[in-house]
Structures are given as structure tokens and as C-alpha cells.
Chains A and B, each alone.
Chain A
Amino acid sequence: GEDVEQSLFLSVREGDSSVINCTYTDSSSTYLYWYKQEPGAGLQLLTYIFSNMDMKQDQRLTVLLNKKDKHLSLRIADTQTGDSAIYFCAERRGNYQLIWGAGTKLIIKP
């Protein structure tokens, strides 16, 4: 996962917005993803963005892509305790494999 970088932890207050950041290295990446993993569970696809898009919004989730800087972010509005999880950023290369970040653990403070 060294090609995709994320902060390991993010702490936010319940009700605030969470912004999780990710940088990637391959400019030819076709899709970029955000996955959520809760303790003891598999990976849940939250959202993804095609590389020719700048932004995608889906309910409380907003994905921003800065292709020039190879920077991807996930904003979670009105963060709830159920949002506590590890969030993985991943990029899809020209073949079918996903390259993953190390994951950002989102901690919600009451």
C-alpha cells in the first residue's frame, strides 16, 4: 500500500464533518474508491469516482478528486457514532487490481 497514503487516525466530534484525505501516485488510475471496514467485518464499498470527475456526492458523503495533485478526499457530513470504522482509499490501475492505502481509523468523540 505504499503507493496510496492516508493518515492513520482522525478524531472528530459527533455531529461535525469528517474529512479523510488520501494521496495516490499513478496518474493513469481509472477509478478511485472509498471503502469502510468495521471491526471484524469485511470491506463495504462506500463510493467511488471516475478519474475524469472532480466531485461526487451521495447523501452524507462527498468525494473530491484533485487529479493534478493526485489527492482524494472523503467528507462525511454530520458524523455519527455508527461512522466509527477504518476507511480505506484505493486506486484502480489499468489492470484489474486495486492498490490500497493503509486505512484511516475514524474516532468519534461524544
Chain B
Amino acid sequence: KAGVTQTPRYLIKTRGQQVTLSCSPISGHRSVSWYQQTPGQGLQFLFEYFSETQRNKGNFPGRFSGRQFSNSRSEMNVSTLELGDSALYLCASSPDGREETQYFGPGTRLLVL
């Protein structure tokens, strides 16, 4: 099976812009989680989707949003970008009934100038 894929792999934006990142889970996985990784804050949970519904959300401002489609692909959107949003954004998927195991994609590295 193909692993979790994320597009794009690298992105450069300027402050105030918005960005949309995409994640395709492993085939058959309906749970998709998003994480932000920065040198200062480490790995932080953003949100988790299952079957097109957001099941859980971390402590991020409303500028961070996400959605999941019927094919389980997920997107996350960040509006009004700030310099501090520069990070590696990681997506992970889990098999049904095995949410204790998460398989991560390679991440999207976002640089905000």
C-alpha cells in the first residue's frame, strides 16, 4: 500500500496570505490527524477527522481550519499567515478501530516571509 502523501512538500508564502495543504491517507484509513512541528514548540496536535467529521481539535486559533472529503483525503487551511506559522505540517492516518497507530506522511514545510 502507498503511504500517506502530502502536497506540496515545500511552500513559501508571505504574511497575510492564506495556504491550503493536502493530505491523502493510506488507502482504507478514514482517520486523519494534523500536527504542526516547530523548533520552539515541538509537535503540536491541530485536529483529527474521521469520516468527514472533525472529532477533536487542539489549541490553535481559528485561522487554522481543516476538512475531510468523502474519499478521506483531508485539507488544512491557514488564513492570514503569520511569521510564526512557519513550520513542518505533518499529517497522519490510522486504520479503523486502530486509532492507536498513526502513520505519518513526509510533511509540508511552510515558510512564511
Please give the residue numbers on chain A whose beta carbons come within 8 Å of chain B beta carbons, in ascending order.
Answer: 1, 30-31, 35, 41-45, 48, 50, 88, 90, 92, 95-103
Given contacts A1-B42, A97-B45, contact A42 B101 (CB under 8 A): no
* 8 A-B residue pairs with CB within 8 Å: A1-B43, A1-B44, A42-B106, A43-B104, A90-B43, A92-B100, A96-B48, A99-B45
Partner-A contacts on B (CB < 8 A): 4, 31, 33, 35, 41-45, 48, 55-56, 58, 90, 92, 99-107
Query: Interface residues of A: mostly helix, strand, loop or mixed?
Result: strand
Q: Is the interface of B mostly helix, strand, loop or mixed?
A: strand
CA distance A96 to B94 in the complex (A): 11
Q: Does A48 contact B42, Cβ atoms closer than 8 Å?
A: no
A96 and B43 in contact (CB under 8 A), knowing A41-B106, A42-B104?
no
Residue of A with least CB distance to B109? A40
Name the B residues within 8 Å of A95 (CB-CB). 55-56
A102:B42 contact, CB within 8 angstroms: yes
